[in-house]
Amino acid sequence: MQLQNPSKAGTYESNDIYIMLFPNSDGNKVELESVVYETYGKQIENIIFSVLKKYHIENVLVKAIDKGALDFTIRARLLTALKRGGINV
Amino acid sequence: MSRIKRSMLFIPGNNPGMLQNADVFDSDSVIFDLEDSVSIEEKDAARILVKEALKAFKFKCEIIIRINPFDSPYYKHDIDELKKLNIDYILLPKASNESVKDLAKRLEKTNIKIMVLIETALGVEQAFEILSSNNRCFGLMLGGEDLCVDLNCVRTKSGNELFYARTRLVNCAKALKKFIIDTPFTDTFDEEGLLKDSKYAKSLGFDGKASINPRQIITINKVFSPSLKEIKHAKRIIEAKNNALKEGLGVFSLDGKMIDLPIIKRAENLIEMAKKIGDSHE
């Protein structure tokens, strides 16, 4: 499935993550900024990629600014952004 | 056995930090709110966040979801997204006969119970009918702020303007053996006011009180819990009753005061509540 329009979800509050989605011509890509990047950066990226894979999303750029979100929040914000981007998840 | 409901803490449905910590506030129940604390632009985000939180955590406290009102465009989506999850109650705002009937129908084939929020003048007048209209409906909460808007009066700390609603709703709930929860005390910095308001609600017959801030929970739990002195006295009443039964006495006295059936019943209720509080901390 392809993103229909750019979208965003989340906040910059602590324990949250701000996610922006853009169409990308070159497959799926994640650009992550995180206050805990050293420790959890890879895990956050893995969660994002696994959600994209689960819903067969292709060609999307995910820009994420993490403020210490737990896994459930990362999934929820990404799913919200995908829905807002016109994808039926 | 039904769980104790001394305190019910509202948690904004779009706040991840509070959702993930729902269990640590010591509230008997938490209400994940999809209604007033969530802006219109974020209704979808809150619904998904609450859903993911419920999938990720196994909360120990009782879980209640306040959905959006029956006449809003979000009502149906809220129920559809959440009814398959592990929820104890759905709190229905601005409840009416029509909305309770509709919600009960949508919750068929689930174990989710209904709690109604009475916050309109019409709702107060129809409370008995609303509560008795469906066997999935187990209790109610008074919503003081919205009711005062409907009554066109100012909400005060003394709460005189809510006297009729409070006493009428307590009577309705008790007549139907349902639980009843008092409206939140909204000044979160006024601890003395909270204590006074909680004691007042308890004196009228409320089973517990809603809260909008975690720091209110300790006070509310304390007010709605039996004291050690009360527990000791209740135990003595039960003991005296057992002795009287052995001796074939119908009425007996303790410390010079006559003990009859209502006093025994109250003592038994108090012991049962103390046991539930004990169990909930194990």
CATH number for the domain including A39? Answer: 3.30.230.10
* Enclosing domain of residue A42: 7-84
Task: Give the pLDDT confidence of A47-75 residue by residue, as tens digits.
Answer: 999 999 999 999 999 999 999 999 999 99
pTM for this model (two decimals): 0.90
Contacts B16 to A, Cβ<8 Å? 13, 15-16, 69-70, 72-73, 76
The more confidently predicted of residues A51 and B244 is A51
Question: What does the pLDDT read at residue B252?
Answer: 85
All residues at 6 or more sequence positions from B150 whose CB lies less than 8 Å from its CB, including other chains: B119, B120, B121
Contact B20 A83 (CB under 8 A): no
User: What's the total number of domains in chain A?
Assistant: 1
- For chain A, how many residues are written? 89
Question: Closest to A15 (Cβ–Cβ): which among B17, B44, B56?
Answer: B17
In three-state secondary structure terms, B155 is coil
Fold of B7-223: TIM Barrel (3.20.20)
Contact B49 A15 (CB under 8 A): no
Per domain, the residue ranges of chain B are 7-223, 228-280
- Give the DSSP letter string of B19-87: HHTGGGG--SEEEEESSTTS-GGGHHHHHHHHHHHHHH---SSEEEEE---TTSTTHHHHHHHHTTS--
Whether B123 and B96 have beta carbons less than 8 Å apart is answered as yes
- Give the DSSP letter string of B204-247: HT-SEEEESSGGGHHHHHHHTSPPHHHHHHHHHHHHHHHHHHHT
Question: What does the pLDDT read at residue B247?
Answer: 85
Q: How far is CA B211 from the centre of its chain?
A: 10
Is residue A61 included in any domain, yes or no? yes
Task: Give the pLDDT confidence of B186-217 residue by residue, as tens digits.
Answer: 999 999 999 999 999 999 999 999 999 999 99
Q: How many CB atoms lie within 10 A of CB B36?
A: 14
Residue A17 distance to chain B (closest CA, Å): 9
Phi, psi at residue A37, to the nearest 5°?
A: -60, -45
Please give the span between the terminal C-alpha atoms of chain A, in angstroms, as a whole number: 10
Q: For residue B156, give the H/E element and its range.
A: none
Residue A2 distance to chain B (closest CA, Å): 20
